[in-house]
Amino acid sequence: METKINVGDAHTKKTHTFTIPETDAKAVYGKKIGDTFRGELFGKAGYEVQITGGSDNAGFPMRRDATGTGRRQILTTRGIGNRQTPRGTRIRKTVAGNTANEFTSQLNVKVTKRGSAPLVEAPAEAAAEEKKEA
């Protein structure tokens, strides 16, 4: 199963989505929220990114305080996976663990070290390069 990586770039204030095949996604299996990995995984040499969250194949959000890889039913008051509730109300919610595995379908990451090339080329620049090659 493919994994989507949403890369948030604070420098440009934009998020870009990259899709990687399962063979490459195995490199992030076992990494937890807060861990870093290189951008070569999704084709951006020189970049280093940090995992900030994600979701599993059923859409349950990853949560930092839910340890492990499977789903957990936790009692929450606020935070990831929980909408605003009246003060003091606790709700049992199902969330995914904080570790990436084969059931993780999406990872949210932020750029911690920028590479020399831009994350995504502007459409005008890409069209100009195609004309040069033709």
Return the pLDDT at 124.
Answer: 62
In a domain, 72, yes or no: no
In a domain, 71, yes or no: no
In a domain, 74, yes or no: no
| Domain, as residue range, for 30 | 3-66+97-133
In a domain, 7, yes or no: yes
In a domain, 9, yes or no: yes
The contacts of residue 113 (CB under 8 Å, 6+ apart) are 46, 47, 48
Return the pLDDT at 120.
Answer: 83
Return the pLDDT at 85.
Answer: 81
Residue 4 in tokens: 């989507």
Stretches where the chain sits below pLDDT 50 are: none
In a domain, 81, yes or no: no
> DSSP readout, the chain?
--EEEEEEETTTTEEEEEEE-HHHHTTTTTPBTT-EEEGGGGT-TT-EEEEEEEEETT-PBB-TTS-SSSEEEEEESSSTT-----TT--EEEEEE-SB--TTEEEEEEEEEE--SS-SS--HHHHHHHHHHH-
Number of domains present in the structure of the chain:
1
What is d(CA 46, CA 84) in angstroms, rounded to the nearest whole number?
Answer: 39
What is d(CA 100, CA 114) in angstroms, rounded to the nearest whole number?
Answer: 23
In a domain, 105, yes or no: yes
In a domain, 111, yes or no: yes
Return the pLDDT at 132.
Answer: 62
Return the pLDDT at 79.
Answer: 83
Return the pLDDT at 134.
Answer: 57
Polymer length of the chain:
134
